[in-house]
Chains A and B, each alone.
Chain A
Amino acid sequence: MAVSTPERISRDAVQALQAPPGRNRSERAFKMVLLVTTGIAVVMLVVLLLDILVDGVAFVTGQRLLQYSSRFPDQFGFRSGITGTLSLMVLVALLSFPIGVGAATYFEEFAPQNWFTRLAEANISNLAGVPSVVYGLLGAGVFVYFFSLGRSLIVGAITLSLLILPVIIVASRESLRAVPRTLREAGLGLGATPLQVTWRQVLPQALPGILTGTILALSRAIGETAPILVVGALFSRRADNVPWDINDAFSALPIQIYNLVSRPQQEFQAQVAPAGIIILLVLLLLMNSIAIILRNRSSRSN
């Protein structure tokens, strides 16, 4: 056994504290892989946006926003699509947010653990994966014909709400579940009722997460074409959906874009459609920004 001098001890320590060979390399390699995956996602998005902007930004003019549709490409405006899409969004948010959050709250806070609850939960998760056109057919069959609501704004809104309800429920449940159990116990321990604890403590705490999920779901709804096509959204109408008549016919931006790109005229395909896409994207970004501001405000007040 060698004599342990201070020098020897410190030499051994220096050696022992070094990373074993290969560790730094594998750490760095893993970080690179992560960077590349992030890069792919971001680059694809940027390319897509740039391509659309380059194609269409020159054709976004005031008249495209203010005029109704037209046979002539240079006179075509998205006014009925914009007002239709905006009306749809507001109605969808009003319908799907309370119903979705209500259902999520029931499942997380009040539902007894039994076969019925589990069956309902499994169904909701599955519904999130059902193709959107199926919701369109459901909307057409049930609301347009069975309830005789016709091809109206309210049917479009109900159909899109049904489409995104499962997503809102799942996201809301996740953020309710993230609220610590100790918070509920604190409230109940003070003699508050489960309703009071849920309403005044748990839901406000979960709200930022719930809003994030709702924003994502609404963004999906704003771009959907298939379901509203099936329930009878119009390509063209010379009227606005604002102010509302929920029984009125409606148009929507995705329908107009879809229709424009399938037209034979080159101008519609290469000039008007990209302009419509940009307007849709801007609407989407606007809506998301409002929602993000709302979310940040609610998480700050907590």
Chain B
Amino acid sequence: MDQQHEQARVDGHARTPVATIADEHRRNGARLDSDLARQAAAGRTVRDDAAVVFDLDDVTVSYAGFPAIRNVSMQVRERMITALIGPSGCGKTTLLRTLNRMNDLIPSASVEGTVRYKGADLYARHVDPVEVRRRIGMVFQKANPFPKSIRDNILFGPKATGMTFDADDLVEKSLRGAALWDEVKDKLDSSALGLSGGQQQRLCIARAIAVEPDTILMDEPCSALDPIATGAIENLMRELREHYTIIIVTHNMQQAARASDMTAFVTTEVSHDEDGRDRRSGRLIEYDRTEVIFGDPRDTRTEDYVSGRFG
């Protein structure tokens, strides 16, 4: 165990850069032998030199003064799929919504620490959350198309952000990008609410890429979908990775193992305040390559979770 790993174990969160994590011995000798570990080990191409998109330093997000997730430090790299896994209520979604300032919509929410996006502090005074969200798109847990036509769903964002575009081209390009074009090309003017759940979610992804963001945040995008629709979205994510940085929150460990390059395990920790009451807040336990998290995790809590003994 080298010094950096020892350090990560001591302070409970991984700050080790991706490059130094790529220890050959662990890649060859995964301790855990499970379907998840094998899926996670299959066909990875993590670029160790990828640029850092998000740099979180000691980030704590609180609601009405109570931390929902605290002291998170991690770096998310460009054009990779980074999965956030962990039990319900551990703060994964809160952490995700911190990255495009969606938590601003909740008046009691506050963020401490620094969140840097390509080097710029997202929570600096002069930063406009509208500009942040324009570059960092979001796909939500429940497909939420506008109750309008498919075409209007795609074009709302580009119109709102004042892009110059050719409507027909953009609609086709976005829908193709979300692997939905062939299914809907003949009914672009019919209501988006007539689509199936999986199609609606892909429409939401198409809508998100229509504004040409560089990062897409996905909050459990497949939780309401059947396995076939889920498979379609996972394939789509792998294609999108060529052009976009993707961060996905998921309850589904198979999904994290199958689809993601990097995985962060978050869980709830109970601490006691001055009055002796329980305070529950999320902690980032371990953050590493997906095959390491599922094959050879350092922390026993991660191991318990990925091997199904917890949560």
Contacts and interface: CB of A to CB of B under 8 A. Distances in A.
Contacts of B208: 189-190
A186 B211 contact: no
Contacts of A22: none
- Chain A, interface size: which category? 20 to 34
Interface majority SS on A: helix, strand, loop or mixed? helix
B137 A189 contact: yes
A302 B147 contact: yes
A214 B206 CA distance: 38
Contact of B211 (A182, A190, A197, A201): A190
B160 A192 contact: yes
A189 B147 contact: no
A182 B140 CA distance: 8
B130 interface: yes
Interface in A168-198: 180, 182-193, 196-197
Interface size class of chain B, counting residues whose CB lies under 8 Å from the partner chain:
20 to 34
Contact of B160 (A113, A182, A185, A193): A193
A187 B161 contact: no
Contact of B157 (A113, A183, A191): A191
B98 to A, nearest CB: 14
Interface stretch (B41-49, B99-107, B242-250, B283-291): B99-107
Contacts of B142: 182
A205 interface: yes
Interface in B126-180: 130-131, 133-135, 137-140, 142, 144-148, 156-157, 160-161
B207 A190 contact: yes
Given A113-B107, A191-B134, A192-B161, A205 B147 contact: yes
A189 B160 contact: no
Contacts of A191: 130-131, 133-135, 137, 157, 160-161, 211, 213
Contact of B148 (A113, A188, A190, A302): A302
B204 interface: yes
A23 interface: no
A263 interface: no
Contacts of B100: 189
Given A185-B140, A196-B160, A190 B133 contact: yes
A25 interface: no
A31 interface: no
B156 A190 contact: yes
B137 A185 contact: no
A183 B207 CA distance: 13
Given A187-B160, A190-B157, A182 B144 contact: yes
Interface of B: 100, 102, 105, 107, 130-131, 133-135, 137-140, 142, 144-148, 156-157, 160-161, 204, 207-208, 210-211, 213
Interface of A: 112-113, 180, 182-193, 196-197, 200-201, 205, 302
Given A183-B144, A192-B130, 14 more contacts: A182-B140, A186-B204, A188-B133, A189-B102, A189-B137, A189-B138, A190-B137, A190-B207, A190-B208, A190-B210, A191-B133, A191-B135, A191-B211, A196-B160
Q: What are the 7 closest A-B residue pairs judged by CB atoms, nearest first?
A: A191-B134, A190-B157, A192-B160, A189-B138, A182-B144, A186-B144, A196-B160
16 contacts: A182-B140, A182-B144, A183-B147, A186-B204, A187-B146, A187-B160, A189-B100, A189-B133, A190-B207, A191-B134, A191-B211, A192-B156, A192-B161, A200-B160, A201-B146, A205-B147
